[in-house]
Copies of this chain bind each other. A is one copy, B any other.
Amino acid sequence: MTDLPPTERSRLRRVHERGRYDRATIDRILDAGLICHVGYVIDGLPYVTPTIYWREGDRVYWHGSSASRMLRRSEGEQVCLTVTHLDGLVLARSAFHHSANYRSVMLFGRAELVADKADKLARLQAFVEGLYPGRWKQLRPITGREIKATTVLSLPIAEGSAKLRAGPPIDDEADYALPVWAGVIPARTALGQPEPCPRAPADMMPLAPETTFPEG
């Protein structure tokens, strides 16, 4: 896979050693997440809305109610879609060199509507199957009204960058001798034990054993 070409808005200016433009890194960060933050502009003012997203090939997708202001106002418009994983807090010997370990991706471009009904259905199915393999066929079939009430937007993975920091604190050389604890407190997002719906029958089948989930 190739690199994304750095552009005026995607190129990292400072600490450019933390920047990555290769699709392997970008896709890995995208595929490890569930929630993105979509930025868009209404009447010149910025809005940032959290939403679940998924990747299929060279695109990311997000969805919601067709009545959603976020979806209606970002369709066809420029957006910035950001995914962030906090990996740790970095404690240095000086306040100044405290930091965080993280992996993030910022994507830029025009949000595109998935207008075709069959295409929209295929995307929703891929979304559910990506999270919960085997589940789509277990569910009550989606209705035409439900498909119509759902908007799916997408963004090509064409302009953007990843940024990441990992590893221990980097201190001023003279500070390493100071008698203060330094290191990393790791952070991790994890999924727990499924909690059945209170209205589920007691003999309800458990989740399919092959069901796997991404880690944040």
Contacts and interface: CB of A to CB of B under 8 A. Distances in A.
Interface of A: 9, 13-14, 34-35, 37-42, 44-50, 52, 65, 67-69, 78-82, 84, 86, 88-89, 91, 93-96, 98, 100, 102, 104, 106, 108, 124-125, 128, 131-132, 135-136, 138-140, 142-143, 146, 149-150, 168-169, 175-176, 178-200, 204-207, 213, 216
B178 A197 contact: no
Contacts of A193: 186
A13 B47 CA distance: 15
A102 B64 CA distance: 15
A26 to B, nearest CB: 15
Contacts of A169: 197
Given A52-B100, A95-B142, A189 B188 contact: yes
B82 A50 contact: yes
B14 A68 contact: yes
Contacts of A14: 65, 67-69
B44 A48 contact: no
B138 A80 contact: no
A124 to B, nearest CB: 6
Contacts of A207: 181
A22 to B, nearest CB: 20
A16 to B, nearest CB: 12
A135 B45 CA distance: 39
